[in-house]
Each structure stands twice: as C-alpha cells, then as structure tokens.
C-alpha cells in the first residue's frame, strides 16, 4: 500500500512537470451521526447507534492543449474499525482516468470515473455514501453545436485475468452502457435543460455464457422563468432484471425476471420571496402486484439502481434499495419543501408522505394486501459554506411508520406485529477541500 501511495505521489509530480496546467487537492469529510431509524425503522428494543465516519481523498489533475488526466486516492473508515498498531489496507483508487481531445468539440475519456447525468436520479455517484461510486468505463463526448452535448459510455467488466472465459461473478453489472443527449438554453428571461438518456445494464447469466440486459430509456426536463421553476422526468424499464423474492425482497440467486416498469416525477417550485423557495412534487415509481399469480416471472418494479436516492426519497434513506425496501411494491412519494436563505445559510424543511404503488402481501393475513400508506417523514437540515474550502451540513429527521411499513421491512424486525416506533436520525458533517498546489492557470481548467 505504501508503494502505491508513493508511486501515485511521484507520478503526480512527474505529470505536473509536463502538464500545461495542473493542481493537487484533497478532501477530508467527517460525519457524526446518531442513528435510531436510519435505513431501518426501529422497534421497542432498538438502541440508538452513535458513529463517526470519515472520507479522505488526495487528488491530482492535469491538462495540456490536447490531453487531461485525473487521479484520486480515497480512504473511507469508521472511527475505531481498525485495531490499533495493526496494518489494514483501506486506501484505494477512487478515480483514475485519461482524456484526449481529438478536436475542441470531441474527446474520449478512459478509466475509473464518476458518471453524472442531469439530477443524478438515474445515474449518479451517490456522494452521500462515504465510499461514493465510480465506474470503469470509456466515454466519448461530442459537442455538435452550441448548447448541445452528446455522450456515449461503454464498459465491460472482468473479475480477474483468467486467460480464458468471460464469466463475471461480482455483484456488479457485466456491462454498463449509456447514451445521453442534452440541450440547454439560457437568456435574461428563462433557462431550460432537456435530456434524452438510454441506460443499459447487463448481468451475467447463471450458465456463465451470456448477459441479460435491462434498458432504461427516458427524458429529463428542467425549466426556470422568473420566480417559477419546473422539473419533470419520465423513464421506462424493459428487458430482464435480477429476480427478487416478493416475500423477503431479497435477490433470488441465478434468476431473472422480465421487467415492465416506469417512473415519472413532477416538481414545480416557486420563489415566495427572493430568499424563500417552495418546492412541491410527486415521485411515482411503479411496483408489482405480488398477489397476482399470473405475473410470475414478470416484475413491474422500477429500480433506479445506479441513481442517487438520498436527495429524493427522504434523507433518512429508508428507500435506498427499492426492491428490498418495498418488497417489489414500488413507491409513491408526495412531498413539499421550504428553503429559506439567510446570510449564506440555507435552511431546509421537507415533508414526505410515502405509500406503496403495487400490492404487497400482509404476513398476518395471507392472501390479503397490506394497506398502501407506509408513513410520513420530516427532514430539517442546514447547509453553509464557511469558507471556499469548508462546508457545513447538519440535519435532523423523523419518520413515523405505519403498520404496513413494519411488514414491508419485516425481515429486519425482532418484534413483528408490535407497535410502530418513531425513528429519528441526527447528523453533523464538515467537508474540507484544500488546494495544496496549482499552476498559474489551473483554476481556469475544468475537467468534464
């Protein structure tokens, strides 16, 4: 591990010597949490967990007239997860890519990289998780005209160098492919961004010879004029997906289902005052009817497996993994949010009403569906850039579950059928991003 760090360190300085522009930067993120209902609703025996987590990154970026490169090393840990005076390899490569511009408007990027599109609902880096997400991929980027962008992404994964065969046994897609077309416009009166995206993820079949593909085509639209704003999304899912047990929400090994799913989201916003924003919305993710025996082998659950769920379906992350967290039932989220600003502080208050879209069987009454309401959530959080390098983010969340929520999460409850218990979660996070070194024009350089 020391050799890896030293190698990357000296490589970074060697590349700086030949680069036209370059910089060295870092990130230190510490998050303190009190968890009593985060990800899993509590029962009457639950004891709150107090935990401190930390992310550390060292970044190096370079660019000349034609080429660019970026390296990011990352260590993620929970305080106390390692025995003192012992060695445990925790440092890894978060990003490492090379980019070449054939022309000013056409480039290729190859290596481990973040893939971020639109509001990150369908494809994002899940930055809230300390580990975050990057993908080993090849990306072509083309700017055919002003305000237009086209990106084509392809990947093909192998577990190791086996010399023969292409079987892939890790819990990742064998291939992840994206086509993204974006058009933007902005003048003194209005602005908008429109995108068309097709995401394909392929999974290794159990016979080790093939790949089953799931396709997610759809569109994203964002509009702003004066005090008004609107965000709309619509996506379909077709093809084959990994099968989920409707009773437990767990994956069925070496099994696939036909997927026929959809989702849409409508989010209008209005500036009540120059420093007070109101946002309303509904997120509708289709789900299966688990009581319909004629639908065996077919799922209607929409699963945004590679998106950032934390900003959308409640901060307490009870719906982070939709197949498991809804038992294939899908999700309807109706919400409202107020965001006042004061002297650089942004305060947020959000209310969510969650319910099932499809039908999930009631474990106490076999053959009958659960009531659809799952519960309500109140999120309060504040964000402030203390300096250009230091960001503060803190919040407190409450979740009020229904009986149905308890049974949807039944595999995690020790008191199934007991009274629902209110969950709460508090966090305090500080992110420090220092710039250690930059060449004269480094801050004018943007790596896409």
Spell out the domain ranges in the chain.
2-163+170-444
Q: Give just the sign of the alpha carbon dihedral 171, 177, 181, 182.
A: positive
Burial status of residue 104 (CB atoms within 10 A of its CB: 0-12, 13-18, 19 or more): exposed
**Cα–Cα separations (whole angstroms), residue 436 to 28, 61, 94, 296, 446:** 13, 12, 19, 57, 17
Report the alpha-carbon distance of residue 251 to residue 240 in Å, rounded: 14
195 in Cβ contact with 218 (< 8 Å): no
104 Cβ neighbours under 8 A, 6+ residues apart = none
Both tokens of residue 109? 């990027």
- The total of other beta-carbon atoms located within 10 Å of residue 120's CB is 21
137 Cβ neighbours under 8 A, 6+ residues apart = 110, 111, 113, 115, 153, 154, 155, 176
Report the alpha-carbon distance of residue 34 to residue 89 in Å, rounded: 27
H or E element: which one contains 277?
strand 276-285
Helix, strand, coil distribution of the chain in percent, nearest 5 = 10, 55, 40
Beta bridge pairs of residue 363: none
Looking at the whole model, is its pTM more than 0.85? Answer: yes
Report the alpha-carbon distance of residue 320 to residue 317 in Å, rounded: 5
- The total of other beta-carbon atoms located within 10 Å of residue 438's CB is 17
Q: What local confidence, expressed as pLDDT, does residue 409 receive? A: 78
Total residue count of the chain as it appears in this document? 448
DSSP annotation of 13: H
Report the alpha-carbon distance of residue 18 to residue 322 in Å, rounded: 47
Query: Nearest Cα to 202, choosing from 126, 307, 306?
Result: 306
Judged by DSSP in three states, 15 sits in helix
81 Cβ neighbours under 8 A, 6+ residues apart = none
DSSP annotation of 327: T
CA of residue 249 relative to chain centroid, distance = 20
Residue 3, phi then psi, degrees to nearest 5: -60, -40
Residue 39, phi then psi, degrees to nearest 5: 70, -35
- The total of other beta-carbon atoms located within 10 Å of residue 232's CB is 15
CATH architecture of the domain formed by 2-163+170-444 = Beta Barrel (2.40)
Q: What local confidence, expressed as pLDDT, does residue 365 receive? A: 85
337 in Cβ contact with 352 (< 8 Å): no
- Residues of the chain below pLDDT 50: 414, 442-447
Report the alpha-carbon distance of residue 14 to residue 197 in Å, rounded: 38
């Amino acid at each position: 591990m020391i050799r890896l760090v030293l190698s990357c360190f000296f490589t970074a300085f060697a590349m700086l010597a030949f680069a036209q522009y370059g910089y060295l930067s870092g990130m230190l993120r510490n998050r303190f949490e009190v968890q009593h209902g985060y990800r899993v609703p509590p029962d009457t025996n639950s004891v709150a967990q107090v935990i401190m987590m930390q992310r550390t990154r060292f970044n190096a970026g370079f660019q000349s007239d034609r080429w660019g490169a970026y390296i990011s090393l990352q260590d993620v840990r929970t305080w106390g997860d390692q025995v003192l005076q012992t060695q445990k390899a925790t440092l890894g490569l978060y990003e490492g890519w090379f980019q070449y511009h054939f022309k000013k408007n056409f480039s290729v990027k190859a290596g481990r990289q973040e893939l971020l599109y639109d509001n990150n609902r369908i494809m994002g880096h899940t930055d809230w998780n300390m580990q975050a997400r990057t993908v080993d991929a090849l990306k072509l980027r083309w700017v055919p005209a002003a305000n237009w962008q086209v990106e084509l992404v392809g990947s093909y994964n192998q577990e190791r160098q086996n010399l023969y065969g292409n079987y892939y046994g890790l819990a990742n897609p064998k291939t992840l492919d994206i086509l993204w077309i974006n058009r933007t416009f902005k003048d003194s009166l209005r602005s908008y961004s429109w995108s068309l995206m097709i995401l394909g993820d392929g999974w290794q079949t159990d016979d080790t010879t093939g790949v089953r593909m799931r396709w997610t085509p759809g569109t994203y639209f964002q509009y702003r004029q004066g005090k008004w704003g609107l965000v709309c999304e619509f996506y379909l899912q077709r093809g084959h997906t990994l099968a989920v047990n409707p009773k437990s929400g767990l994956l069925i090994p070496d099994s696939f289902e036909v997927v026929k799913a959809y989702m849409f989201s409508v989010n209008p916003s209005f500036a009540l005052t120059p420093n007070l924003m109101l946002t309303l919305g509904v997120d509708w993710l289709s789900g299966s009817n688990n009581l319909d025996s004629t639908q065996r082998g077919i799922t209607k659950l929409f699963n945004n497996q590679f998106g950032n769920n934390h900003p959308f379906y409640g901060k307490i992350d009870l719906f982070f993994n939709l197949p498991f967290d809804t038992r294939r039932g899908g999700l309807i989220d109706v919400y409202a949010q107020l965001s006042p600003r004061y002297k650089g502080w942004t305060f947020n208050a959000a209310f969510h009403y969650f319910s099932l879209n499809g039908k999930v069987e009631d474990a106490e009454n076999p053959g009958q569906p659960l009531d659809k309401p799952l519960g309500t959530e109140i999120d309060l959080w504040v964000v402030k850039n203390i300096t250009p390098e230091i960001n503060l983010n803190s919040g407190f969340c409450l979740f009020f579950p229904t009986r149905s929520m308890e049974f949807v999460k039944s595999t995690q409850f020790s008191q199934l059928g007991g009274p629902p218990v209110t969950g709460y979660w508090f966090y305090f996070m500080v992110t420090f991003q220092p710039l250690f070194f930059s060449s004269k024009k480094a801050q004018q350089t943007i790596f896409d």
